[in-house]
């Protein structure tokens, strides 16, 4: 069994917990789209939103980063690849390796955008029950012809439910490596292979067990979803966040593009 992590749903009485999940899903999409279109100045202003959200639900940024250690390694890989592949004014050269000022800025910006997306997604998962997420996805997809909205909702809710399972499996695999002194091997490729193969095997085995359990219980996608209702508070928060994102987009178009770390 997977342990309860901060990436699971935690009941609460905060304003974000009580917000209609359809509005939370829309806000999640809006912030992610704005983050992908923002420069350094725009993403700095946009970071205020997930920061206030984490503060409101009383979750530390460091606790989120601690639970996503593997994601930080991915960010490091992205930062290095963007730094080495982006052309520009060179600040360090050694053989075929060239690091440009524009590459450093592009790598830093990309990692910052992904962190904003991570924090906003965490707030959504942390404050939204899975059955309400399924109902919201089905509500949005119901007018779209040719898409089984109930099946898509179940798939999305199962994917979110598997986040703590994946983190737990990664922790168990890492502990097994330490018990076998794999970390003492100097070859990073060997350590990566010995971690990846059993980790992926554990994931597929857990997925097969879940499928068998659902089939044994005659689980069907035609289930009664919870009733979703919006209030004036939901619309007010949605318009405030949307207005803030529109202001950031306007700043990106007229003011912030002139701001850079390097000339």
pLDDT at 255: 60
Q: Is the pLDDT of residue 155 over 50?
A: yes
Query: What's the rounded Cα separation, in Å, for the pair 128 and 9?
Result: 6
Dihedral angle over CA of 34, 36, 38, 41, nearest 10 = 110
Query: What's the rounded Cα separation, in Å, for the pair 203 and 135?
Result: 26
Q: Identify which of 26, 33, 35, 55 has the alpha carbon closest to the alpha carbon of residue 239.
A: 26
> Looking at residues 233-239, what average pLDDT do you find?
92
| Confidence grade of residue 98 (pLDDT, cut at 50, 70, 90) | confident
pLDDT at 24: 92
pLDDT in tens, 34-45: 998 888 888 888
State pTM to two decimals: 0.77
| Confidence grade of residue 257 (pLDDT, cut at 50, 70, 90) | low
C-alpha distances in angstroms, 129 versus 124, 132, 145, 182?
9, 5, 26, 39
Q: Is the pLDDT of residue 101 over 80?
A: no
Burial 138-165 (b: 16+ CB within 10 A, else e): bbbeeeeeeeebbebbbebbeebbbbbb
């Amino acid at each position: 069994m997977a342990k309860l992590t901060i990436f699971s749903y935690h009941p609460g009485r905060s304003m974000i917990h009580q917000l209609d999940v359809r509005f939370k899903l829309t806000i999640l999409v809006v912030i992610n789209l704005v983050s992908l279109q923002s420069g350094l100045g725009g993403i700095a202003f946009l970071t205020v939103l997930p920061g206030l959200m984490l503060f409101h639900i009383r979750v530390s940024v460091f606790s989120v980063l601690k639970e996503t250690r593997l994601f930080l390694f991915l960010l490091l890989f992205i930062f290095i690849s963007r730094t080495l592949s982006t052309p520009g004014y060179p600040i360090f050269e050694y053989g075929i390796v060239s690091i440009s000022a524009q590459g450093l800025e592009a790598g830093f910006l990309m990692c910052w955008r992904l962190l904003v997306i991570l924090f906003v997604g965490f707030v959504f998962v942390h404050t939204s029950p899975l059955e309400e997420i399924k109902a919201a996805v089905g509500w949005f997809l119901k007018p779209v012809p040719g898409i089984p909205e109930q099946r898509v909702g179940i798939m999305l809710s199962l994917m979110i439910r598997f986040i703590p399972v994946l983190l737990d499996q990664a922790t168990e695999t890492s502990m097994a490596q330490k018990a076998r002194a794999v970390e003492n091997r100097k070859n990073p490729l060997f350590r990566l292979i010995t971690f990846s193969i059993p980790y992926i095997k554990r994931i597929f085995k857990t997925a097969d067990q879940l499928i068998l359990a659902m089939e044994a219980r005659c689980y069907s996608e035609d289930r009664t979803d919870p009733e979703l209702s919006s209030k004036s508070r939901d619309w007010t928060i949605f318009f405030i966040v949307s207005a803030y994102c529109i202001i950031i987009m306007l700043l990106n178009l007229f003011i912030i593009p002139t701001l850079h770390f390097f000339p």
